[in-house]
Each structure stands twice: as C-alpha cells, then as structure tokens.
Structure 1
Amino acid sequence: MEMHTFIKLGISAILGLIIGLERELKRKPVGLKTCLVISIVSCLLTIVSIESAYIFPKQSHINMDPLRLAAQIVSGIGFLGAGVILRRGNDSISGLTTAALIWGAAGMGVAVGAGFYVEAIIGVILLIASVEFIPLATNVFGPKQLREKELFLKLIVSDINKIAEVIAAIKMREISIKTVRIKDLDDGSHLIELKVSVDQKRATTDVYYSIHHIPAVRSIDIENI
C-alpha cells in the first residue's frame, strides 16, 4: 500500500473525528465511532473504486468508471441516516441534523479518497460552523421567529367552562400558542395539549411556574421540543 493511501485514510479519520465529536458532545445517537467508521470506509471505498479502474483495464481491457463504487456510497448512506430520524409522540421530528451530518461524513470521505483534501477540510469547517456558530448568531441577530423555542404542554383542567379562560391566561403570559388539542378524559377532566413558542432565552421552568399559577390548571406536563 502506498504512502498516499495512508495519508488519505488518516485525513479522513481526523475529519470524521471532528464531526463525530460535535455529535458526541450533544449526546446524539450517532456519535464518534459511527462517524469515524463512515468517513474511513467511504474514503477506502473511493480509493478502491479509483485504483481498480486503472488496474483491471490493463489486465482485461475493460473500461471502468473510476467512481462507480464511490457513487453508491451516497445512496447507501441514506439507509443509515434514515435510522436516526425519529417522529415523537407530539408530531415533532428529530434527528434530521444528525442524518445530514452522516451524509456529510460520507461525502467528506469520498472527497478525501478522490484526492480533494483542501475541499474536504473546508467542507468540514463549514459543516461545524453551520451547526454550531450560525444558530447562535441567528438567536441573537435573526428575526423573532428564529429567536424562539417550541414547547409542548399537557394541561389537566377539571371544569370544561374554564378551558377558554386557561388558554387566554396562557396568551397573556407572553406565550404564543401554535396548536391546540382538547381531549375528554374518563374521570371527567379535560386534557389540553398545546404546542407553544416562547423567547429562546426564557427558561422552561419559568414557563412551568407561570402556567402552574393559573387557578383552573390541575396539573401540567411540559416538554422542550
């Protein structure tokens, strides 16, 4: 094996390590080891694909596409990415960023395997900046909608006549209501499920205490989406 092959695999491992650490620090399902495997194997398959195109034609006089094997990585990695996308009970979707970074780790491995070192390094830098620093800047300088976070609330109200009063009281507490779902329970009480948005800097506990003080609310369950 030639030295440039070791260099390619080493660079791919380092860049995959950077992507994996970002996911690991956020306690995501796909972390350090997975990103390392994806980046290294993608790089290796690209090297094999390119080298095979130049080795085998000399032996069999058959024309081969240098990136035929590498091209399958892009579609094949989609199955792995789909496994980390989850649909929660409150209809919110999570895991899309992780799935995108899996695809990015594979693309980075292909780029390094094909010899595009500088492009791969710049790509990883932009990836990390996109998922780490740009959202922080958006929370400070972006429009109001991007400076808000969503919460999912479950409230138990005993008196049916108090439901409208509770919703109005929530709106008065600087809480924007996006969706409302009301369900009658077997014990005669009523379940109110709300998807709301509040300022990004507002603590979830502050929202909890604010709503908990509404007299008609018997119990509250709050989840940060």
Structure 2
Amino acid sequence: MKLGISALLGLIIGLEREIKRKPVGLKTSLVISIISCLLTIVSIESAYSFPGSDQVNVTMDPLRLAAQIVSGIGFLGAGVILRRDNNSISGLTTAAIIWGAAGIGIAVGAGFYIEAIVGVILLIISVEFVPSFIAMIGPKQLRQKEILLKLTIKNKNDISAVMERIDAENITVKNVRIKDRGEDNHLLQLRILIHQRQKTTEIYYTVSTFKEISAVEIESL
C-alpha cells in the first residue's frame, strides 16, 4: 500500500515535469519516489527486526537510510542544473522537485500519508499557479520576460544609432555585449526585458526593420 501511494504521488509530480518537457520527467520521478519509500520502509522495519539479545544490545536508527536519501539525492539534482552562460542558470526548479519527490517517498514510507498528499498538492500549486498569481499582483519586474538579441552590424558607428532606436521602442536593455568579428562585422548582443504577454516575434519584426542591422538572432530565455 505504501509503495502504491508513493507511486501515485510520484506520478503526479512526474506528469507536471513531463508536460513541460523537462529533463526529469515521469519515469525519473516515479523511480525516485518509489525507491525512497522502499528504503524508508526497509530502514524502519530492519530497526525493529534485529532487537538484539541478552549478550548483544543492538541499537539502530529507524530512519538511518532515509537520512542518507536526502543527501544522496543531491547528486541527481546537480545533474539537471545547467549553466547557459554567466547570467543564466536553468534546472533549479527541476532539481528541487527531484528532492521533493524523494521527500514524498520518505513521508509515505514512514506512514505520513496525509502529510505526503498535502505536500504534493502544495508542490503543484506552488509550481503551477503561485508564480502566475504573484506576477499579476506583484511589481512590474515579475511580469517581464528576458530575451537574448544578437544583432550583426556592419558599420560600428551604427551601434549607437541602433541602441537609440531600441530605446525609442520602449525596450528595456538589461545587458550589452559588443564583439568585433572583423573589419565590417560587429556583433551586438543584448539582454532585453519585455512584457510576458508580448510575443518574441514582435521584437524580431521590429528589430529586423532597422537598416543598420544585417542579421538578427533572437532567443527567449
């Protein structure tokens, strides 16, 4: 029964990651949740299966294995954290959910069914609904998304003109990077902030009309 409940709760967590096409999906969450539950059961049961004798007094911690799960799961979590560049890191939420799936398995294995179910419900609410709600009522920065713009400009004297035109379009520039690729080839890399409802294609169409720019590459972060 414990393994079945753990599998069901792990399935719910895994579906959330699977729908979002994250590296850790359904199968990984199921394995983590079920095996964490199994190890917790083994840890508890084995502590009372070997009570010792008159000659030898055996004292065991019922949750010794469970304690090792919490630290050991960090290796899996570290494997899904990716560093794109100096200012962008992805995979932290997925790593936290891996840790959460292990925690759910431990809770079920220890017999805390209600707490485990409530934990999964709160986890899904926190990941799926709370960010959108906070974005609606929170400060302006929470309603913005970040986009990476790579603009190829032939004449370096046109760089300042491009920056002025971007500012005129009410586009917030977060970071600027300029790289010379040759005498008539300069890369202007910009991290910009736009409203989360604004489409990336709109920015592309706007920037591509600048006569100073010979090529445009755009990416949502």
Matched-pair identity in %: 64
Matching of residue 54 in structure 1 with residue 48 in structure 2: yes
> Partners of 1:33 and 1:26 in 2: how far apart?
14
How far 1:187 moved relative to its partner? Answer: 5.0
How far 1:140 moved relative to its partner? Answer: 2.0
Residue matched to 1:105: 101
TM-score (ref. length: structure 2)? 0.96
SS at match of 1:218: strand
Q: Which runs of 5+ in 2 are unaligned?
A: none
Instruction: Specify the code of the residue in structure 2 equivalent to 1:13.
Output: A
> Partners of 1:91 and 1:199 in 2: how far apart?
20
How far 1:154 moved relative to its partner? Answer: 0.5
SS at match of 1:169: helix
CA contact (8 A) 1:13 1:40 kept: yes
Q: How does 1:119-198 map to 2 (within 5 A)?
A: 119-186=115-182, 188-198=184-194
Instruction: Specify the code of the residue in structure 2 equivalent to 1:112.
Output: V
Instruction: After superposing the two structures, state which structure 1 stretch, 157-166 or 35-44, moved more.
Output: 157-166
Instruction: Specify the code of the residue in structure 2 equivalent to 1:189.
Output: N
Matching of residue 211 in structure 1 with residue 207 in structure 2: yes
Residue matched to 1:200: 196
Matching of residue 71 in structure 1 with residue 63 in structure 2: no
Residues 201-220 of structure 1, C-alpha deviation per residue, up to 9 Å, x if partnerless? Answer: 00000011111111211111
How far 1:174 moved relative to its partner? Answer: 2.0
Aligned residues: 219
CA contact (8 A) 1:139 1:200 kept: no
Residues 52-87 of structure 1, C-alpha deviation per residue, up to 9 Å, x if partnerless? Answer: 111112465310111111100011000001111111
Q: Choose from 11, 15, 20 the match for 2:9.
A: 15
Instruction: After superposing the two structures, state which structure 1 stretch, 160-169 or 101-110, moved more.
Output: 160-169
Q: Choose from 11, 29, 32 the match for 1:38.
A: 32
CA contact (8 A) 1:90 1:152 kept: no
> Partners of 1:50 and 1:119 in 2: how far apart?
18
Instruction: After superposing the two structures, state which structure 1 stretch, 141-150 or 179-188, moved more.
Output: 179-188
Q: Which runs of 5+ in 1 are unaligned?
A: 1-6
SS at match of 1:37: helix
How far 1:142 moved relative to its partner? Answer: 1.8
> Partners of 1:49 and 1:90 in 2: how far apart?
43
- Aligned alpha-carbon RMSD (Å): 1.2
> Partners of 1:58 and 1:220 in 2: how far apart?
73
SS at match of 2:176: strand
TM-score (ref. length: structure 1)? 0.94
CA contact (8 A) 1:152 1:193 kept: yes
SS at match of 1:57: coil
Instruction: Specify the code of the residue in structure 2 equivalent to 1:179.
Output: N
Residues 94-126 of structure 1, C-alpha deviation per residue, up to 9 Å, x if partnerless? Answer: 111100000000001001111111111111101
